């Protein structure tokens, strides 16, 4: 059985990756929307996005919308691959126990 | 390694977030579209009240602007999120829906009061049905506006058209703003 991805497995990082993977490839989520969807605080979300970014799983883009700075987070191809493998491993664990995923 | 219960919880969490993203994407576009239609319907009703002879032209302009605006919002949203929510199928469905409404209005020989009531309830029926798949907000708005429309039809006399401007136009604007908060 494949190993779980330690970077993704942390609960908040799993939620971040799940949210970004629900979008089509190349599409991203603004920081504020991601915060609302995951229920995280500013500092917590920022720290976990940085961990995912260092692993190459997400790309962080910063731009100005009018005079407001806006941060957008997008899952990279490597991140999508890692997430798919992580989900497959979770399903394998459940299947091995005889439960339905 | 984790056990099957923890794996099951993680998958459930993933599905929950994916569903929230889907709903949030739909709400984002739908709320903007609702605010647009709310403003147009508000103006349409006030136009009908002020210049009843030109009501036909007023509503033609309302529908043309509404469809064009909805298409523009959808194109901008597609550019931003990569999710196409208002494609050509949706446009055809909207045209068929409006066409059927026009046919029914012609067949039923509705007067101005019946027309105002019918078109509002007809649109709200779709909101309510859409809500069964895409979220309770649509159901609340659909049922709420329908009830207020029927109150206006049966109990509000000569002020029915301004009432509809408030209930239908105002209801859509408030509903759209409420959806943006959620």
Q: What is the CATH number of the domain that holds A61?
A: 1.10.10.10
pLDDT confidence of residue B116? 87
Of A36, A93, A101, the CB nearest to B2: A93
φ, ψ at A33 (rounded to 5°): -70, -40
Cβ(B122)–Cβ(B145) below 8 Å = no
Q: Which domain holds residue A30?
A: 6-96
Residue A101 lies in a domain: no
Q: Report the chain A residue with the minimal C-alpha distance to residue B181.
A: A36
Nearest 5°: CA angle at A18, between A15 and A19? 85
Number of domains comprising chain A: 1
Q: Which 3 state secondary structure label does DSSP give A25?
A: coil
Cβ burial, residue B143 (10 Å; 0-12/13-18/19+): middle
Residue A85 lies in a domain: yes
Please state the rounded mean pLDDT for residues A25-40: 89
Q: Identify the H or E element spanning B159.
A: none
pLDDT in tens, B92-124: 887 898 899 989 999 999 988 998 899 999 989
Residue A46 lies in a domain: yes
Biggest CA–CA distance in chain B, Å, is: 75
- Give the pairing of strands A58-65 and A68-75: antiparallel
Taking CA atoms, A38 is separated from A69, B29, B136, B143, B172, in Å, by 21, 20, 20, 31, 28
pTM above 0.80, yes or no: no
pLDDT in tens, B32-83: 998 999 999 999 999 999 998 998 899 899 989 998 998 888 888 877 766 6
Mark yes or no for CB contact B14/A18 under 8 Å.
yes
Residue A1 lies in a domain: no
> A38 — contact with chain B (CB < 8 Å)?
yes
pLDDT confidence of residue B164? 92
Mark yes or no for CB contact A14/B13 under 8 Å.
yes
- Can you give the residue ranges of every domain in chain B? 10-181
């Amino acid at each position: 059985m494949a190993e779980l991805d330690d970077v993704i497995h942390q609960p908040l990082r799993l939620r971040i990756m799940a949210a970004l993977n629900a979008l089509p490839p190349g599409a991203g989520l603004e920081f504020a929307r991601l915060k609302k969807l995951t229920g995280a605080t500013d500092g917590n979300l920022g720290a976990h996005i940085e961990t995912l970014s260092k692993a190459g799983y997400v790309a962080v883009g910063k731009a100005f919308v009018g005079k407001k700075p806006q941060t957008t987070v997008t899952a990279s191809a490597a991140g999508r691959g890692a997430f798919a493998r992580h989900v497959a491993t979770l399903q394998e664990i459940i299947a091995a126990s005889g439960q339905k995923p | 390694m984790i056990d099957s219960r923890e794996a099951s919880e993680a998958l459930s969490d993933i599905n929950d977030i994916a569903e929230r993203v889907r709903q949030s994407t739909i709400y984002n576009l739908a709320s903007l579209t609702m605010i647009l239609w709310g403003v147009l319907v508000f103006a349409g009703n006030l136009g009908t009240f002020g210049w009843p002879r030109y009501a036909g032209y007023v509503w033609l302009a309302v529908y043309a602007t509404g469809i064009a605006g909805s298409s523009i919002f959808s194109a901008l949203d597609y550019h931003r999120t990569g999710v196409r929510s208002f494609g050509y199928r949706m446009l055809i469905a909207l045209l068929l829906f409006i066409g059927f409404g026009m046919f029914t209005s012609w067949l039923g020989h509705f007067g101005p009061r019946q027309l105002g009531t019918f078109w509002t309830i007809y649109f709200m029926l779709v909101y309510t049905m859409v809500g069964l798949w895409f979220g309770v907000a649509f159901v609340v708005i659909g049922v709420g506006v329908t009830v207020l429309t029927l109150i206006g039809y049966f109990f509000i006399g000569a002020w029915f058209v301004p009432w509809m401007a408030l209930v239908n136009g105002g209801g859509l604007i408030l509903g759209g703003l409420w959806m943006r908060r959620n």
